[in-house]
Amino acid sequence: MSTAREIMDGIDALVVSLEALLKTDTVDALLQLVAELRISQPVKGALKALGNVLDTLVEWLGKLEQVAGVPRFLESVGPSVTQLDQLFSASGEQLQQSGMGALAPLATSAQVAVQLFDKVRRAVERVIQGMLPQEALQRLRDSVLRLKATLSTYGERLDGPPTRAGLASGAPALESGAQGRPT
């Protein structure tokens, strides 16, 4: 069974590979062909749809990063929990010594509750750190943002005039929806 880190690393490797593929000469040639054939609008629509999917993925990753930050908060609470434990321990002893021994069980119960909270706090820290490794989430988020930027660049390139010699020299191009060879 794969760990969350392995899954995120695998997805990150896929995104990085996809971005590398998009930066090849073949994709560049395809973009030129799309521009020459003047079918940029459907391709730009597809690029925009992919960009929207990547935006949604970045939002989800942002939410996961917030959850992954919970252990830092729980860790910062640790010293306060230790102080509360010591306070309730001392309070129980002081209540006994001052003749209010009947209240000592309240201090003991509070101390047990604080100790239980501390055990749960530590367990949640370990579970979240194991399930949502923050550095893997950040790396994946960065890769997705780079891929989105690459797709956006291609969409912008399709807005410009084609640069290939055939179209620049006045050769006819297929109109969107046309069939067959240009005449």
33 part of a folded domain: yes
125-180 residue pLDDT tens: 988 888 888 889 999 999 999 999 999 999 888 887 666 543 433 434 444 444 44
Tell me if 74 is assigned to some domain. yes
Q: What pTM was computed for the model?
A: 0.67
Q: Is residue 177 included in any domain, yes or no?
A: no
| pLDDT for res 14 | 93
Range of the domain at 92: 4-168
| 38 falls within a domain | yes
Count: domains in the chain: 1
User: pLDDT class for 121, splitting at 50, 70, 90?
Assistant: very high
In a domain, 174, yes or no: no
**pLDDT of 47-66, one tens digit each?**
999 999 999 999 999 999 99
**Inter-residue long-range contacts of 155-162, CB under 8 Å, 24+ positions, other chains counted:** 155/44, 155/47, 155/48, 155/51, 157/31, 157/35, 158/31, 158/34, 158/35, 158/40, 158/43, 158/44, 158/47, 159/40, 159/44, 160/35, 161/35, 162/32, 162/35, 162/36
What pLDDT is recorded for position 128?
Answer: 87
